[in-house]
Structure 1
């Protein structure tokens, strides 16, 4: 992440026609009035996630989680190793830059002492132009290599920050069903996640807009993670009629994931918005590559039609071969 890039509107290809039926019988969470989940984090600090569900026609899911310790701002060893793998010769270049800076500085110091001695001795005045020339070369070389080192170090810090954010994202938790909790990293090589973050109406409208593209999104390994910034996840209503049974099953699969440890998700998203200069209240989306790295993001509704057009199928003859064709990393 990554920062929010490509904050331009995507136009859907033609008007969308949603055929919603009135016979909605299934609502997420209406099978249990209340549930209490107890989870223990990596620091053995017990946290409780209480979800209150109501079975009325306007069912809402209210999730609250005790604050967990904020992840360390220090760059982990894993991120440093990944940085070395992605840029194997950076350390070598930086070493030589420092060596050339030291050499130029030492040469400049020697030339300066010679210049002082030549200026103090009238008999050596003829040597001054040659000494100045050498001093200029030493200063210029030291300045050039100092600039190259600064640029390389800046690129390294940017890469480490991005890898650190990706690592924090991979450690966030998702609920697949009532009995299974996984981390985002568990879906690497399996699914391309699309995170929809915003108030409940934004989540619900994103849910409706994705309906015409359900099959195409699943074919491309897309799974949606809805994150309600106001803490109230809307109830997703599915048509349980016989003629819509197959589509309903696919819709449930596309929207089956739910974030837990809400405070950690909120902190991570707030950091991305801050880095991108996006208002904390703005609804946003992030799309991840098959390898779990952020490939795209923006303000507003996810461009489902663009995902279908850009992403390769997750299965078939191109499976695996095109996993790296998800798009460039942000």
Structure 2
């Protein structure tokens, strides 16, 4: 009974997280595109107006085709004029329908992207001080670069980042190394990579920087599920190593297969200290 109750609570908790993510995604979508809701209201209204006008023109068209005197004398409209008006109405219906379809598709794509970002924000990491936090809780304080792949790939990516470490730290970059299968040894592999750089930081009297430099993903099954879904959407093979860079506000800046472009990150990201602190948080470029 206790096991069933626990499973039920976990399912309810997961459902609550998904509902909250969907709600947050809708709110963010409205903020990003504030006039889209108005357009999606106006397009059907304009289509309805054009449809009514077209239906009204049909009796006049029938009368004009039948050479009815009422069509040319009372309404002062020839067959050509009736056809012209009807053509304008039909064209308006088609145009507004295409605009509505395009805007709806753009909204759905944006909502899907924002929902994935909100799901990513709910994933948890262990900070250098052993505190556990979600990526959402770290918004505004770090630009995460997630490196996912086999241990050899992750270790090489960390090694390639070392020449840029100081500059990346100045730009608020924090690495999230995530070793993909075998899942049973994921935590151990990540911990060994982290401990190696942490030991080096102690030798260099930069333990504080090391705590900000790397955080470890926990509850790795959730990370694995999220990454698998993204690879499936992007048609990327499951065994391909990937990276993902986030903006300071938690939105996805860019992603790709292979190693993160450390030099491009240094060139494009603004520092997080000084007079531009906060003003350039959203101007992260695209890497």
Q: Which of 258, 262, 275 is the equivalent residue of 1:300?
A: 258
Aligned counterparts, 1:206-225, within 5 A: 206-225=157-176
Q: Which of 121, 135, 155 is the equivalent residue of 1:170?
A: 121
TM-score w.r.t. the length of structure 2 is: 0.83
Between structures 1 and 2, the one with greater strand share? 1
Measure, in 2, the Cα distance between the counterparts of 1:156 and 1:121: 48
* Conserved? CA contact 1:288–1:296, under 8 Å: yes
The range that moved more, 319-328 or 221-230, is 319-328
* Conserved? CA contact 1:197–1:283, under 8 Å: yes
Aligned counterparts, 1:108-119, within 5 A: 108-119=54-65
- Report the CA distance between 1:317 and its aligned residue: 2.2
* Conserved? CA contact 2:244–2:256, under 8 Å: yes
Unaligned 5+ runs, structure 1: 1-40, 47-67
Measure, in 2, the Cα distance between the counterparts of 1:299 and 1:145: 39
- Report the CA distance between 1:171 and its aligned residue: 0.7
Measure, in 1, the Cα distance between the counterparts of 2:36 and 2:66: 45
Q: Which of 78, 83, 87 is the equivalent residue of 2:33?
A: 87
Secondary structure, in 3 states, of the residue corresponding to 1:212? helix
Aligned counterparts, 1:283-294, within 5 A: 283-294=241-252
Residue 93 of structure 2 corresponds to which residue in structure 1? Answer: 142
- Report the CA distance between 1:178 and its aligned residue: 7.5
Unaligned 5+ runs, structure 2: 1-5, 73-77
Check 1:248–1:303 CA distance in 2 against 1; reply closer, same or farther (3 A cut): farther
Measure, in 1, the Cα distance between the counterparts of 2:144 and 2:135: 9
* Conserved? CA contact 2:144–2:175, under 8 Å: yes
Between structures 1 and 2, the one with greater helix share? 2
Aligned counterparts, 1:48-67, within 5 A: none
Measure, in 1, the Cα distance between the counterparts of 2:91 and 2:243: 47
Q: Which has the higher contact order (CA 8 A, sep 6+)?
A: 1
* Conserved? CA contact 1:75–1:160, under 8 Å: no
Report how many aligned residue pairs link the two structures: 267
Measure, in 1, the Cα distance between the counterparts of 2:49 and 2:200: 79
Aligned counterparts, 1:10-49, within 5 A: 44-45=9-10
Measure, in 2, the Cα distance between the counterparts of 1:241 and 1:179: 18
* Conserved? CA contact 1:70–1:264, under 8 Å: no
